[in-house]
């Protein structure tokens, strides 16, 4: 097992990794920017190293500073968390070349699955269902011809993308040039890769993802699926496990196909394969995330598996000791709400000092957070403050427990999206499980129409 792990991240995911390491008897090193000097992950780690000023490009994304921090603290492995450098194959290669272990997939596997077009090729090779789409687009004219072949509407997507960036819905040829140019610019700025491709756009799909775990001994597990349809601008807000829309038969058949694809491609570590659901039992592969997901706690609560601990053990070369996938049975139902520092009406980020902080508790409630009362939320990073996870024997009970937990959650001094989360859980289509990726936007559109009428 590793002796000391450097956590190349911040906030709640850094704390999550530190906790897993402590339970495995591993020492930890926190890195932090000047803005995060007093952060909780800095306090909880055994050691801490400042790696630069507040901007992420000069700290959390600054590879030489991260490697230097690992070397001066004698760390033998680096865990990237999610976001930042977690899916950067070049970073994984640098880590390995410096004699350190990267806690994640090998760089080659990350390059295969992390590149959206190569991932489509792999999915096709291993029999996963795909939406009609294109290869890399060479120009706006090429995009127009490919869209005509696939059929409008289409989604233009960044080849190296994620998090909803570099994506545009195009409904007619007249919209393509502008969408192509803006998506190219956004992709270049976000991922340093301007390449785009397109897929047929599904108007009201559900977003389903399957959790996989693989070790270096040829063992692969699928640990069920998560429902992630409640999202705004392709950013997830609420996740749950299992999905109320996946039958036992579909779960079993997709799990088998996914395990085959993961095993045959040589992938190891945690990973998540994301699908769009268009109609009953029809799933289409979108992409694979080669890292731990923000929403991993709902899978942990319903399977009893510490995903981060297993990821660390797999990276250390251990043969994992978990039951066969076919014997998994979900333990009740779990829901996660992402609590963001933002205005619930405009979604503008809302950094500032937290004057009061009281997280919810009680039976079946888990809170993963990196903030505390008196902490000043920086303006330089993602606005995620905390994740509230509610677990109960049934989906209805989990929703009721989450509503109670959100009522208890007190965060004073800044604005948050807690009120929006409460409204989402009250929607009829959320309660009956019929929500789609359009549900949140439909609610917000109705709000805008109401305000316009009043004015």
CATH number of the domain residue 171 falls in: 3.30.1490.20
The CATH number covering residue 60 comes to 3.40.50.20
For residues 11-35, average pLDDT: 98
Query: What is the per-residue pLDDT for 196?
Result: 96
User: Does residue 361 sit in the same domain as residue 313?
Assistant: yes
Predicted confidence (pLDDT) at residue 328 exceeds the cutoff of 90: no
Query: What is the per-residue pLDDT for 190?
Result: 81
Per-residue pLDDT band at 183 (split at 50, 70, 90): very high
User: Does residue 183 sit in the same domain as residue 322?
Assistant: no
Predicted confidence (pLDDT) at residue 234 exceeds the cutoff of 90: no
Could you tell me which residues come within 8 angstroms of residue 434 by beta carbon, excluding any fewer than 6 positions away? none
Higher pLDDT among residues 105 and 450, named by residue: 105
User: Does residue 210 sit in the same domain as residue 180?
Assistant: no
Last-in-domain residue among 180, 200, 220: 200
Query: What is the per-residue pLDDT for 227?
Result: 98
Domain total in the chain: 3
Edge-to-edge strand order for the sheet containing 283-289?
283-289, 269-277, 206-214, 220-232, 235-241, 333-340, 384-392, 365-369
Last-in-domain residue among 183, 200, 217: 200
Q: Is residue 109 part of a domain?
A: no
* 420-438 pLDDT per residue, tens: 999 999 999 999 999 999 9
Could you tell me which residues come within 8 angstroms of residue 423 by beta carbon, excluding any fewer than 6 positions away? 443
Q: Which two tokens stand for residue 259?
A: 């395990």
Q: Is residue 112 part of a domain?
A: no
Per-residue pLDDT band at 384 (split at 50, 70, 90): very high
What secondary structure, in 3-state letters, does 207-267 show? EEEEEEEECCCCCEEEEEEEEEEEEECCEEEEEEECCCCCCHHHHHHHHHHHHHHHHHCCC
The CATH number covering residue 266 comes to 3.30.470.20
The neighbouring-strand residues paired with 338 are: 387
- Per the CB < 8 A criterion, the answer to whether 444 and 241 are in contact is no
Distances in Å between the Cα of 379 and the Cα atoms of 28, 124, 294, 348, 382 are: 26, 42, 20, 11, 8
Higher pLDDT among residues 188 and 404, named by residue: 404
| Residue 260 to residue 69: CA distance in whole angstroms | 38
For the entire predicted model, the pTM comes to: 0.94
Q: Is residue 34 part of a domain?
A: yes
| Residue 430 to residue 423: CA distance in whole angstroms | 10
Query: What is the per-residue pLDDT for 201?
Result: 95
User: Does residue 148 sit in the same domain as residue 99?
Assistant: no
| Residue 13 to residue 294: CA distance in whole angstroms | 8
- Phi, psi dihedrals of residue 103, rounded to the nearest 5°: -85, 90
User: Does residue 40 sit in the same domain as residue 75?
Assistant: yes
Annotation says 329 is catalytic: no
Distances in Å between the Cα of 371 and the Cα atoms of 33, 375, 417 are: 16, 6, 16
Q: Is residue 125 part of a domain?
A: no
For residues 295-322, average pLDDT: 98
Q: Which two tokens stand for residue 136?
A: 């890399």
Query: What is the per-residue pLDDT for 19?
Result: 98
Per-residue pLDDT band at 65 (split at 50, 70, 90): very high
| Residue 259 to residue 219: CA distance in whole angstroms | 9
Dihedral of alpha carbons 287, 292, 296, 302, sign: positive
- Within its chain, how far is the Cα of 215 from the centroid? 21
Per-residue pLDDT band at 50 (split at 50, 70, 90): very high
Of 291, 338, 401, 415, the catalytic one is: 291
Q: Which two tokens stand for residue 362?
A: 């009680």
Q: Is residue 64 part of a domain?
A: yes
Higher pLDDT among residues 329 and 86, named by residue: 86
* 152-166 pLDDT per residue, tens: 999 999 998 776 789
Q: Is residue 123 part of a domain?
A: no
- Per the CB < 8 A criterion, the answer to whether 300 and 390 are in contact is no
Q: Is residue 119 part of a domain?
A: no
Could you tell me which residues come within 8 angstroms of residue 303 by beta carbon, excluding any fewer than 6 positions away? 223, 224, 328, 330, 331
For residues 341-348, average pLDDT: 94
User: Does residue 162 sit in the same domain as residue 274?
Assistant: no
- Per the CB < 8 A criterion, the answer to whether 369 and 376 are in contact is no
Last-in-domain residue among 154, 185, 200: 200
User: Does residue 178 sit in the same domain as residue 155?
Assistant: yes
Query: What is the per-residue pLDDT for 256?
Result: 95
User: Does residue 17 sit in the same domain as residue 78?
Assistant: yes
Q: For the purposes of burial, counting CB atoms within 10 Å of the CB of 455, is it exposed (0-12), middle (13-18) or buried (19 or more)? A: exposed
User: Does residue 232 sit in the same domain as residue 326?
Assistant: yes
User: Does residue 291 sit in the same domain as residue 430?
Assistant: yes
Predicted confidence (pLDDT) at residue 17 exceeds the cutoff of 80: yes
Average pLDDT along the chain:
95
| Residue 27 to residue 23: CA distance in whole angstroms | 10
31-38, long-range: CB < 8 A, 24+ apart: 31/6, 31/7, 31/59, 31/60, 31/65, 31/66, 31/69, 32/59, 33/58, 33/59, 33/60, 33/380, 34/59, 35/378, 35/380, 36/10, 36/378, 38/375
* 256-289 pLDDT per residue, tens: 999 999 999 999 999 999 999 998 889 999 999 9
Query: What is the per-residue pLDDT for 110?
Result: 94
User: Does residue 181 sit in the same domain as residue 222?
Assistant: no
Query: Helices 116-125 and 107-114 meet at what angle, rounded to 10?
Result: 90
- Domain ranges, residue 162: 132-200
Q: Is residue 115 part of a domain?
A: no
- Per the CB < 8 A criterion, the answer to whether 288 and 113 are in contact is yes
Counted residue by residue, the chain has a size of: 455
User: Does residue 98 sit in the same domain as residue 142?
Assistant: no
- Per the CB < 8 A criterion, the answer to whether 359 and 315 are in contact is no
Percent of the chain with pLDDT over 70: 100
Predicted confidence (pLDDT) at residue 150 exceeds the cutoff of 90: yes
């Amino acid at each position: 097992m590793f002796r000391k792990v450097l956590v190349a991240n911040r906030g709640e995911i850094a704390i999550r990794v530190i906790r897993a390491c402590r339970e495995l008897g591993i020492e930890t090193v926190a890195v932090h920017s000047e803005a995060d000097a007093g952060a909780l992950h800095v306090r909880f780690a055994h050691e801490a190293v400042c790696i630069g000023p507040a901007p992420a490009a000069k700290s959390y994304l600054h590879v030489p500073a991260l490697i230097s921090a690992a070397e001066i603290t004698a760390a033998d492995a680096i865990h990237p968390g999610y976001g930042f450098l977690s899916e950067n194959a070049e970073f994984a290669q640098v880590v390995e070349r410096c004699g350190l272990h990267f806690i994640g997939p090998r760089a080659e596997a990350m390059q295969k699955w992390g590149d959206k077009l190569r991932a489509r090729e792999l999915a096709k090779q291993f029999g996963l269902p795909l939406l009609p789409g294109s290869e890399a687009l060479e120009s706006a004219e090429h995009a127009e011809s490919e869209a005509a072949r696939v059929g409008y509407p289409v989604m233009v997507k960044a080849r190296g993308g994620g998090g909803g960036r570099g994506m545009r819905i195009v409904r007619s040829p007249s919209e393509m040039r502008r969408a192509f140019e803006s998506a190219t610019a956004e992709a270049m700025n976000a991922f340093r890769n301007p390449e785009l491709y397109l897929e047929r756009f599904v108007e009201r799909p559900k977003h389903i993802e399957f959790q996989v775990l693989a070790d270096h001994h040829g063992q692969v597990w699928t640990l069920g699926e998560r429902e992630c349809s409640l999202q705004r601008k392709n950013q997830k807000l609420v996740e749950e496990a299992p999905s109320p829309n996946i039958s036992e038969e579909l779960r079993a058949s997709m799990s088998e196909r996914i395990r085959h694809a993961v095993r045959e491609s040589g992938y190891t570590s945690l990973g998540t394969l994301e699908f769009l659901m268009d109609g009953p039992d029809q799933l289409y592969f979108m992409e694979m995330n080669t890292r731990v997901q923000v929403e991993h706690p709902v899978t942990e609560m319903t399977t009893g598996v510490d995903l981060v601990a297993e990821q660390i053990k797999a990276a250390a070369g251990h043969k994992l000791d978990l039951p066969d996938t076919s014997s998994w049975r979900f333990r009740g139902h779990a829901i996660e709400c992402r609590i963001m520092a933002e205005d619930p009406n405009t979604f503008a980020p809302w950094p500032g000092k937290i004057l009061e902080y009281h997280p919810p508790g009680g039976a079946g409630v888990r809170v993963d957070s990196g903030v505390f009362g008196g902490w000043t939320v920086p303006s330089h990073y993602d606005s995620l403050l905390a994740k509230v996870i509610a677990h109960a024997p049934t989906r209805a009970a989990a929703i009721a427990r989450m509503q109670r937990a959100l009522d208890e959650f007190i965060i004073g001094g800044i604005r948050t999206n807690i009120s929006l989360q409460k409204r989402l859980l009250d929607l009829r289509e959320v309660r009956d499980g019929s929500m789609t990726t359009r549900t949140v936007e439909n609610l917000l559109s109705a709000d805008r129409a109401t305000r316009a009428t009043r004015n």
